[in-house]
Structure 1
Amino acid sequence: MDSQLIDILVCPLCKGPLEKRPTDGFLVCKADRLAFPVRDGIPVMLVDQAEPVNTSES
């Protein structure tokens, strides 16, 4: 995924910044502890599709 796209995307819940998780490419909001999947290069920015993030994963 293009780093410029990541720079303009925000968490749909809190509007905070997202970081790309290197292990699987998920986009992570540290404030809400949610990981948003990227499928076929397209970020899925739906809260109900996000996975909870453990503190040890961040």
Structure 2
Amino acid sequence: MADGRDGRKATVDPKLLELLACPLTKGPLTWDAERSELISRVAKLAYPVRDGIPIMLPAEARTIAAEDALKPPPRLGGPS
């Protein structure tokens, strides 16, 4: 899924991901690269990233199913 008009997939800088928090729960977020969304497992919400900009508005978030919230977070690429 592309995040913007140029057709490229969005990426989120891992350092930015460490700073961002769910606006409702103030809890951590995980990155879903396949859907270009930031996931709040506690709130069961997926915040979209459009044109590389996280849209951190609960009204813009998609509700995720309970079983999706329980999936382990994806590993970020990079050296191990």
The aligned counterpart of 1:13 is 24
Kindly indicate whether residue 43 of structure 2 is the aligned counterpart of residue 42 of structure 1.
Answer: no
Distance 1:10 1:27 in 2: 10
Answer with 1 or 2: which has the greater Rg.
2
Give me the CA root mean square deviation: 1.0
The aligned counterpart of 2:3 is none
Kindly indicate whether residue 67 of structure 2 is the aligned counterpart of residue 56 of structure 1.
Answer: yes
More deviation, 32-41/18-27: 18-27
Deviations for 1:3-40, whole angstroms, at most 9, x for unmatched residues? 11111000000100000013212000000100000000
* Equivalent position SS for 1:36: strand
The TM-score with structure 1 as length reference comes to 0.90
Structure 1 segments of 4 or more deviating over 6 A?
none
The TM-score with structure 2 as length reference comes to 0.67
Aligned residue pairs total 58
Q: List alignment gaps of at least 5 residues for structure 1.
A: none
Q: List alignment gaps of at least 5 residues for structure 2.
A: 1-11, 70-80
Identity %: 40
